[in-house]
Amino acid sequence: MANETDTSSANDLYVTVLHQAVLEERRPLQVPWRQFHTKADPIGRGITAQFPIQDDPAAAVALTESTDATNTQLTTSNQQATATEQGIMATVTDRLAAVSVVDAYPHFEGVLGRSYEERVLDIFAGLYDNFTGITGTSGADLTLVQFLAAVTALAGRDVPGPYYSVLHTQQVLDLRSGSGNTPGGILPGFAASQTGMEFLASPNFQQTVMNDINRSAYAGSILNVDVWQTTAVVTMANGADRGGGIFNKDAIGYHELWDQKVELQRDASLRATEIVVTGCLGAVEIDDNRGQTIQTDA
């Protein structure tokens, strides 16, 4: 049969339609940085917040009867976090807002808000590779032994728990796949809770558990350390390695004058509206001994 009427011959009668939701842009997984860093609680509203630290005067000593004790000078030190403005702006024209099939203002407000959160994540991720204590082997996969060594290094420096860890996704993969570990991967799945065996190769994961883990930045708990993964973890050794970290809450502090806020500013002569997203925050390493960098193959 010939001369049918089809989508080629009647192509002026239909238009391309859009899916009702716009897929969000791809970004590094967000980690709950407020959960495992210390926020300054300043007296006043200064730009810089000082974290005072009581220095350790060492243990007391044995005393001799009828002999004066030797005076011990008590000293303090401090680290300072300076809040600086972070932000991003975009200008939405009236024409775009009028013809857009989605509500342009809330859509682009969401995009810029996520850009701000990514910036804050980068600030903290840039500190995890700065600890003096480093565990791992450049150019080699992360192993269970190395992870245990990092935890032990903190305990050996009398750092109180709980500990938290932020790793690159490749480092988490090393732990899951069992690279360099015996036996196999170590992040526990459903079978571990039934058998008491915490270190199981990844084939022992139930698929539903794996799916739940992969939907968020939370990668599981190892040796009572909550592990989070994100590609925001910075490179080391000229890009050959990634520098994640294990630390307690007092290792890194931050000073926040204001949290993320979104404002609209009208520019009538341009026939457009500016969307401005800002915050004011700064972070600092408070105590170098309370953190351990994990440097392994990127």
Q: What is the pLDDT of residues 101-158, one digit of tens each?
A: 889 999 999 999 999 999 999 999 999 999 999 999 999 999 888 999 999 999 999 9
Q: Which has more confidence, 218 or 20? A: 218
- 205-209 contacts at long range (C-beta below 8 A, 24 or more positions apart): none
Please state, in angstroms and as integers, the Cα–Cα distance from residue 149 to each residue in 135, 154, 172, 210, 254, following that order: 7, 9, 16, 26, 28
Decide yes or no: CATH 1.10.10 for domain 33-52+77-297: no
User: Which residues, at least 6 apart from 260, have a Cβ–Cβ distance to it below 8 Å?
Assistant: 113, 116, 117, 277, 278, 279
Mean pLDDT of 258-284: 96
Tokens at 90, concatenated: 């975009």
pLDDT for the residue numbered 15: 80
pLDDT reading at 182 higher than 50: no
pLDDT digits (tens, 9 = 90+) for 203-218: 434 444 344 444 578 9
For residue 206, the model assigns a pLDDT of 40
For residues 225 and 292, the answer to whether their CB atoms sit within 8 Å is: no
Q: What is the pLDDT of residue 207?
A: 40
- pLDDT at 36 > cutoff 50: yes
Check if the beta carbon of residue 298 is closer than 8 Å to that of residue 234. no
As given in the structure block, the two tokens for residue 7 are 């989508």
Radius of gyration of the chain (CA): 26
Quickly count: other Cβ atoms within 10 Å of residue 43's Cβ.
8
Handedness of CA 264, 265, 266, 272 (dihedral sign): negative
Rounded Cα gap, residues 151 and 215, in angstroms: 26
d(CA 167, CA 289): 19
DSSP string of 280-293, one letter each residue: EEEEEES-GGGEEE
Q: Measured over all CA atoms, what is the biggest interatomic distance in the chain, rounded to whole angstroms?
A: 119
What pLDDT, on the 0 to 100 scale, is given for residue 205?
A: 40
Token readout for 169 is 């996704």
From residue 156, alpha-carbon distances to 34, 95, 239 in Å are 26, 63, 30
Torsional class of 108: left (φ above 0), alpha (ψ -120 to 50), beta (otherwise):
alpha
Least Cα distance to 33 among 97, 108, 127, 106 occurs for: 127
Residue 18, pLDDT > 90, answer: no
- Mean pLDDT across the chain: 87
